[in-house]
Every structure is written in C-alpha cells, then in structure tokens.
Amino acid sequence: MSALTDNETFEAERQISTRWWLFLITGIAWVLIAFMVLAVDPSTPAMIGYLAGFVLIVAGLNEFMAVPFVPAWKWLHVVLGVMFVAVGIMALLDPFQTFGILALLIGWYLLFKGIADVTVSIVERDVLALWGLRLASGIVEAAIGVWALGYPGRSAWLLIIWVGLASLVRGITEIALAFTLRSSDVRTPSSR
C-alpha cells in the first residue's frame, strides 16, 4: 500500500470540495425524512415498516454516492450500500414483520448498550473524567430498553423517535459538511 502523493491528495480534496452540493442535497433529504418519520402515527405498523424500508434504501443509495469521495475503504461503503438496499427491499415486501423486528431490536439494543455503558463506567472510573455521567446514561438507556420491551406500543414510539432523530442528526451533519466543503480553501500543491 503506497502513500498518496501531494498531487493525488490535492485532486481528491478538489473533487470533494467541488461537489459540496451533493452533501447539501442529501442532508436536506435526510432532514425531510426525519420530519416525515416524526409525523407518523405509531398505531399504523405497516406505515412504519414501509417508512423503514424507504429510509434503508435511501441510506444505501447515500452509501453508493459516498464511494467516489472517500480515499480508502471504498469496498465497505459498497457493501453497506448493498446491505441497506437489500434489507430495505425486504422491509417493503413485509412491512408488518419489519415493524415488529425493528421495535424489538431497538429495545434490546438500548438494554444491552445501557448495561455495557454501566459496566465500562464502573471499570474505568479512574480513567474516565465524567464516568458518573456515563453511568447515569447507561442506567437510563437500560431502563428505557426494559420499558420498551415491556409493551410493543412503547417500542413503536421509541422506534419512531429513534429513526426520526437519527435521520435529523445525519441530515444536519451532511448539511454542515456541505458548507464546510464549500468554504474550504483548496490550494494547489505548490502553494502549500
């Protein structure tokens, strides 16, 4: 594996900075998806299943769009893109099953993540400056996971909030990246 030369690095930076508008478009799309998700009535499981399918397909397409812009690990973006699109299509084919599985996965994820955070915060309390904050966060995550697993209706609300906020954060991040790329000063290799 060879290191990139100055000219190759400059060319990669120039390509990314000239296509800043792609990140702006995908960021706006993610924000719109977030608003759509947060406006959904959780009493319609099929709608949530369809929405999850569409979100996964868009996430897959977004991964494919990122391939030309990343200097390394291109194969990982392709694999993620294929997986997201495939799972999105499967979700569209059986939306009720998708809803149930996603709701359970969110609950279990929060339970295990909370337990892991509690464990890490206690074990590394001498190293972590804010170990108490991580401990409290882990306890809250585990409690929300148990609460969500106790009744499927709660999992539906949690699923909507989780997907909506994740889409919103991704959209805002991509919009910020677009404006950062737009304002970045890409100089020639000789002026460095």
Question: pLDDT category, 14, cuts 50, 70, 90?
Answer: low
Residue 129 has phi, psi (to 5 degrees) of -70, -40
Tokens of 116: 């892991």
Percent of the chain with pLDDT over 90: 17
| C-alpha of 92 from chain center | 20
pLDDT attached to residue 1: 46
Mean pLDDT within 156-181: 83
Angle at 28 between CA 80 and CA 73, to 5 degrees: 25
What is the C-alpha to C-alpha distance for residues 142 and 159, in angstroms, rounded to an integer? 15
173 conformational bin, left if phi > 0, alpha if psi -120 to 50, beta if neither: alpha
pLDDT above 50 (res 188): no
What is the C-alpha to C-alpha distance for residues 155 and 161, in angstroms, rounded to an integer? 10
pLDDT above 60 (res 2): no
Mean residue pLDDT of the chain comes to 81
Q: In this predicted model, what pLDDT tens digit does every residue of 110-120 receive, in sequence order?
A: 899 899 999 99
Q: In this predicted model, what pLDDT tens digit does every residue of 59-108 receive, in sequence order?
A: 899 889 888 877 788 898 899 999 999 989 998 998 888 877 877 887 88
Whole-angstrom CA distances from 74 to 44, 67, 87, 175 are: 38, 5, 20, 22
Mean pLDDT within 124-150: 87
Q: Worst-scoring range by mean pLDDT, 14-18, 51-55, 138-142, 147-151?
A: 14-18
Going from N- to C-terminal start, the domains of the chain cover 6-183
Name the CA radius of gyration of the chain, rounded.
20
pLDDT attached to residue 4: 55
- Classify 191 as helix, strand or coil: helix
